[in-house]
Structure 1
Amino acid sequence: MLDLLVVAAASGLAGFVDAIVGGGGLVLVPALFATYPGAPPASLMGTNKGGAIWGTAWAARQFARRVSLNWRGLMPAVAMALLGSWAGAWTLTQVSADGLRKALPLVLLAILAYTLARKDLGREHAPRLAAARESLAAGVIGLCIGFYDGFFGPGTGSFFVFLFVRILGYDFLHASAAAKLLNTATNGAALLLFAWKGHVWWQVAAVLAVTNVAGSLLGTRMALRHGAGFVRGVFILVVSALILKTGYDAFLR
């Protein structure tokens, strides 16, 4: 029971962070591995997806009710994200992700440096592409980051947010809202694969889902209340934490 309370609290915090800017896995996945050190990694990852998908989906619903989104452009991207995630998860069963693990902190460091250097990045919502080109660009983003999420995963939501800001011209609030839609699809695809392979502890996942939704509700309300500047600040904090965590895992552990 104590173990369950610990991971439930971590799931609530993960839902809060993930609802604002992504990166909830930075909180929940290490908590699961620390609490259940003898468990198969696949079961812990599957249980993580089983809990986290509900908070992401809830955040997507809340954002969709309050933030104007280009639904015609984003729905094909959602389908591409689902396809990419499934392909990434399958690829993981065939090859090792060690090379990507070492490259990830360097990529995140570049993203952080770029965001800090561009003080105005993501503060104003000014989509720069025509409808057809925006749909195509969003689809490519969904496919590529979806593949990454299925294959490896850490920071998926943050990658979605950054690319929507940098490539499509969204502000951080709209980018976060769009990211939730695509991240729900990638989580769903990965969850289906883990469930198919029998790698989900459904009783634990159900508890994680409840606290993840609660954290997501609070995070979404704060993001909507404080706007793009607040989301940008949280994005910088989360990416900084991801750099430290992934750098430690890749080079020091």
Structure 2
Amino acid sequence: MLDPMILLALAGVGLLAGFVDAIAGGGGMIALPALLSAGLPPVAALATNKLQSMFGTGMAAYTYWRGGFVSIKALLPAMALTYAGSLLGALAVKQIDTSLLDIAVPVALIGIALYFLFAPNLSDADKLARLSFPRWVPLLGFTIGFYDGIFGPGTGSFFTIGFVMLFGLGMTRASGNTKILNLVSNLAALTIFIPAGDVVWPAGLAMAAGQLIGGYVGARTGIRFGARIIRPLVVLVSIALALRLLFWT
């Protein structure tokens, strides 16, 4: 049984993680170490992190949708394939050698940071899409969902850059669409973690309370300030995740 003060501290961490995640992704970088520090075993920490982040991601997704930045109808095929990809990744993780990802993912995250840092004309205005949204977004969802199932860090950054580079979405719309697919991917993981009994519910629900607040405030902040805050936060989160994967894992 976790001490009430630890649960209160986890709720505060959930609020901060939800705020950052709603704008730029990477909330797990804040939440997961906190759960490990609270004494949860690694698998339980991973499962509980998925549960608590689902609340913040869900609130952020709902807020972006209410703001008119997401079309659920257009995303339905991608949502289905994201779920399938994440589920297959989680089921296949023990059969796949993921050691190459230890270097490849940080390099990709640094590349994302450099793109968002130096690319001209990154704004909230939609640009010309390089690929057809209905045809190719489901493939994006399946691929990144599968990655999330087997590894996970940087999933939000990968979705965001895909929506910006390949489908021409403005930064705020890209963040909103990212939150929807991130939520679906988390749900897929939980269909495995919950029946297995891996989730520590008191810790997860305490953090979920903070996530609901952080997710809402973060999404409202992203909507209000758009690319002015989303762009630098994506850069900071991507670099921080890359450094953490290279030197603290």
Q: TM-score range by the shorter chain?
A: over 0.9
Work out which of the residue numbers 5, 13, 19 in structure 2 matches 1:16.
Answer: 19
Q: How many angstroms does 1:15 deviate by?
A: 0.3
Q: How does 1:230-249 map to 2 (within 5 A)?
A: 230-249=229-248
Within a 5 Å distance, the mapping from 1:86-105 to structure 2 comes to: 86-105=87-106
Aligned to 1:43: 44
Q: Which residue of 2 aligns with 1:207?
A: 206
Please tell me whether the aligned partners of residues 150 and 190 of structure 1 are also in contact (alpha carbons under 8 angstroms): yes
How many corresponding residue pairs?
A: 246
Q: Report the alpha carbon displacement of residue 97 of structure 1 after superposing the two structures with TM.
A: 2.6
Q: Secondary structure, in 3 states, of the residue corresponding to 1:93?
A: helix
The equivalent position to 1:4 in structure 2, one of 3, 7, 15, is 7
97-106 or 50-59, larger mean C-alpha shift: 97-106
CA positional deviation for 1:129 = 5.6
> 1:32 is matched with which residue: 35, 49, 58?
35
Amino acid in the other structure paired with 2:242: I
Offset from partner CA, 1:10-39 (integer Å, 9 cap, x none) = 111110011112110110011111221xx3
Q: What are the ranges of 5 or more consecutive residues in structure 1 without an aligned counterpart?
A: none
- Contact kept in structure 2, 1:123 and 1:229, CA below 8 Å: no
**Residue of structure 1 equivalent to 2:53:** 52
Give 1:98 deviation, angstroms.
2.4
The amino acid that maps onto 1:171 is: G
Given the superposition, is the C-alpha separation of residues 126 and 72 from structure 1 closer, same or farther in structure 2, using an over 3 Å criterion? farther
Q: Aligned partners of 1:89 and 1:122: how far apart in 2? A: 35
Deviates more, 1:238-247 or 1:19-28: 238-247
Tell me the CA shift for residue 125 of structure 1: 1.4
> What's the CA shift for 1:114?
2.3
Matches within 5 A, 1:64-103: 64-103=65-104
- The Cα shift of 1:3 comes to 2.3
Identity percentage over the alignment? 37
- Whole-Å Cα distance in 2 between the matches of residues 240 and 135 of structure 1? 31
Shift in Å, 1:76: 0.6
Gaps of 5+ in 2: none
1:69-118 Cα distance to aligned partner (Å, 9 max, x none): 34443111011111111011111133343221222111111222222231
Which runs of structure 2 are paired with 1:71-150 in the superposition (5 Å)?
A: 71-128=72-129, 133-150=132-149
CA shift, 1:249, in A, is: 3.1
Residue 2 of structure 1: how far off its partner (Å) = 2.8
User: 1:68, 1:5 → 2: CA distance?
Assistant: 33
Aligned pair in 2 of structure 1 residues 234, 191: CA closer, same or farther (>3 Å)?
A: same
Tell me, what secondary structure is at the counterpart of 2:96? coil
* Amino acid paired to 2:20: V
- The code of the aligned residue for 2:74 comes to G
Change (3 A) 1:68 1:222: closer
8 Å Cα contact 1:77-1:140 kept in structure 2: yes
Partner of 2:151: 152
Q: CA deviation at 1:56?
A: 0.4
Q: Distance in 2 between matches of 1:225 and 1:173?
A: 9
How far does residue 128 in structure 1 lie from its aligned partner after superposition? 1.8
Distance 1:68 1:220, change over 3 A: closer
User: 1:45 Cα shift?
Assistant: 0.7
For the residue of structure 1 that corresponds to 2:207, the secondary structure is helix
Residue identity in the other structure for 1:8: A
